[in-house]
Amino acid sequence: MKYYEKIKTTPIKKDAIILGIETSCDETAVAIVRAGREILADEIISSATEHAKYGGVVPEIASRSHTEAILTATENALKNSGLNKDDIDAIAVTEGAGLLGALLVGVSFAKSLAFAWNKPLVPVSHIRGHISASYLADKDLKPPFITILCSGGHTAICEVKDYYTLKVLGSTIDDAVGEAFDKVARVLSLPYPGGPNIERLAEKGQNNIKFPKMLANNYEGSEFDFSYSGLKTAVINYVHRAEQLGQQIVKEDVACSFQHSAIDVIVDKAEKALKLTGYKTLAVSGGVGANGYLRKALKDRFSGKIKLVIPEKRYCTDNGAMIASEGYLQYLNGNFADLTLNAKAVVPIK
């Protein structure tokens, strides 16, 4: 019997142990998670320092680094979990969105592993993976809830209606919030990755420059949509204008004021989404969820009023555990791929 014909008939186990593989950007991440909630092993090998030399992720370097790291990450995950290959029930892998060459390394490796170990192969959306990190953070979390997805590639507010149904209330009409952090970091000559470096600088600054809060009001689309391109341009113009006039800028203040403008709209829109839906739970997902100012602003606004789920910083940024957690949900539904699975640079938020 062919691989997939056999796999299709695999009995589904409620307490399944899933090995999750993530290679969409610059983290080679492999984790092992039981029943979508319990992390048994979690390995991340990052190539960020390689990219820092060039000021941003270089796709070719990312792909090569994944190729070099993926076997070690998988072996270490298995060793640290204390399990062996027979204990693994399925292999989940990020199929998209992300850098195509980088994704291909994970997808090809996952296909080989699934075939060699004779396990189901479960394709996972990176976006859904970020959202599922909240199930790792709070073992009792159940839909429905609102999630604010804020990463380097996406910014959206979604209703998680049930484990499988997402409704996008609004999303960015141009840049993502993480992208804005990274681009502003560049103009302030901060090294890659920009987000954490802006945050560190902002801690020493004042919110005393009036940058726009894009789409805060008076916009004809969804009141939950975002826009970051204008804010980014406003910061770039501010810095260039000062340079032309030979004026000194206070980088700390620029970082702090930008951070307020970028983040405050997210917190405001999250509150509106809670009001609209009547949901009593708010979860955060994506790399910008690691931002200390956002985390504090959410706690200040919502603590004691609703249930707030903020994953540990490690599980906001890219990791394998979120892919294993989302992979478990897809596994329960029998959403298996055959060995023709391919990587996708873009996937819709759904």
Residue from 97, 120, 100, 99 nearest 110 by CA: 120
Residue 182 interaction partner, one of Zn ion, ligand KG4, none, beta carbon < 5-8 Å per kind: ligand KG4
Our CB check for Zn ion shows the closer of 92 and 274 to be 92
In the complex, minimum distance from the CB of residue 150 to ligand KG4, in angstroms, rounded to a whole number = 8
Interacting span for Zn ion (CB under 5 A) from 139-147, 261-269, 297-305, 317-325:
317-325
Does residue 159 belong to the site contacting Zn ion (CB under 5 A)? no
- Rounded to the nearest 5 degrees, what angle is found at the Cα of 323, between the Cα atoms of 67 and 10? 100
Residue numbers at the binding site for ligand KG4 (CB under 6 A): 25, 130, 151-153, 178-179, 181-182, 193-196, 199, 286-288, 290-291, 317-318
Q: Which residue is nearest to Zn ion (CB)?
A: 318
* Cβ count within 10 A of residue 350: 12
User: Do 93 and 114 contact (CB within 8 A), yes or no?
Assistant: no
CA–CA distance, 97 with 151 (Å, rounded to integer): 12
Residue from 144, 152, 90 nearest 330 by CA: 90
Our CB check for ligand KG4 shows the closer of 108 and 125 to be 125
Our CB check for ligand KG4 shows the closer of 120 and 287 to be 287
* Cβ count within 10 A of residue 268: 16
Our CB check for Zn ion shows the closer of 256 and 288 to be 288
* Binding mask of the shown chain, residues 177 to 216, with x at each position contacting Zn ion by CB under 5 A: ----------------------------------------
Quick one: which of 151, 155, 197, 281 contacts Zn ion (CB under 5 A)?
Answer: 151
In the complex, minimum distance from the CB of residue 9 to ligand KG4, in angstroms, rounded to a whole number = 34
Our CB check for Zn ion shows the closer of 151 and 257 to be 151
Cα 243 to its chain centre, rounded Å, is 35
Cα 281 to its chain centre, rounded Å, is 19
Lookup: tokens for 167? 């409704």
CA–CA distance, 325 with 38 (Å, rounded to integer): 9
Rounded to the nearest 5°, which phi and psi values hold at 138?
A: -135, 105
The site for Zn ion (CB under 5 A) is made up of 151, 318
